[in-house]
Amino acid sequence: MKAIILAGGFGTRLKSVIQDIPKPMVDISGRPFLEYLLLQLKKAGICDIVLAVGYRSEKIEDRFRDGKAMGLNLTYSHEDSPLGTGGALKRALIMVDEKSAIVMNGDSFFDIDLNSLIDDHSNSGAKITIAVSRQADLSRFGSIVVDNNNNILRFMEKSSAEPGGLINAGIYCINKEIAPSIPEGKISLEYDIFPSWIGKGMKALKCDGFFVDIGLPESLSGIKNQPQQLFSAVGIQL
């Protein structure tokens, strides 16, 4: 199966600490954050990867090139102007030949068995499967409500989310057939596309693995200071 990493973000909220590089290229213990995502995919045996890039894409391409140095096959889907996560996914899905693909946000890491996600998605018949993580503090994320069969019922905004609950952990298995339903132009996968698929074949997979989002300076600082769980998740020896 092919994977897509959405790596075109500006990192607006991190400008004070990362300056003029794409958010997924922020340094964590001598490696770009994006490298940990690539290692996670490689560990799962997923080596054919599309990097959906935009802002300062040359920084990513200069570092990883075709991926052969890491034992990967990397190709690039470019956006000429910002397309949002939904628009970037629509364009990248053109490069997928199989029925479905693993899709990962380029600014978060979730320690999940990716092959279990693939199997669950295939066996359930879902068109979109979102890996979800139970978190005590939902102030940054909002939450996802599911039924007893893990069908996603609704997405709750940060302001309405109750303490404790399930969050979107930034890893998905998505069928290529959804691409035509994504409008052209700049659009959000999380806020526009996913809500439109409620009741149409979208499920959640609950997992308990280590989760980190680098979207804010404080969360980035935390993983920079204590990267051990990240190392362990991708098989880097301490």
CA dist 222 and 47 (Å) reads 29
Taken as a whole, the chain contains a residue count of 238
CA dist 69 and 73 (Å) reads 9
What is the predicted pLDDT for the residue at 15? 53
Residues 175-208 have pLDDT tens digits of 999 999 999 999 999 999 999 999 999 999 999 9
- Model pTM? 0.94
What is the predicted pLDDT for the residue at 18? 61
Distance of CA 213 to the CA centre of its chain: 10
- The percentage of the chain sitting over the pLDDT mark of 90, rounded to a whole number, equals 74
- Mean pLDDT, the chain, as a whole number? 91
Mean pLDDT (whole number) for 51-77: 95
What is the predicted pLDDT for the residue at 86? 96
Mean pLDDT (whole number) for 26-49: 96
State the pLDDT confidence band at 56, using cuts at 50, 70 and 90.
Answer: confident
Mean pLDDT (whole number) for 57-65: 95
Tokens representing residue 69 in the block = 């140095």
Residues 217-230 have pLDDT tens digits of 788 888 888 899 99
Query: Is 22 in contact with 56 (CB distance < 8 Å)?
Result: yes
Q: Which residue has the higher pLDDT, 14 or 131?
A: 131
CB-based contacts of 92, cutoff 8 Å, min separation 6: 4, 6, 50, 52, 77
CB atoms within 10 A of CB 16: 7
What is the predicted pLDDT for the residue at 36? 97
CA dist 33 and 40 (Å) reads 11
Domains and their CATH numbers in the chain: 3-230 (3.90.550.10)
Q: Which residue has the higher pLDDT, 43 or 137?
A: 43
CA dist 186 and 150 (Å) reads 29
CA dist 8 and 106 (Å) reads 8
28 pLDDT exceeds 60?
yes
What is the predicted pLDDT for the residue at 212? 93
What is the predicted pLDDT for the residue at 222? 85
Distances (CA, A) of 132 to 14, 226, 233: 24, 23, 17
State the pLDDT confidence band at 214, using cuts at 50, 70 and 90.
Answer: confident
157 pLDDT exceeds 60?
yes
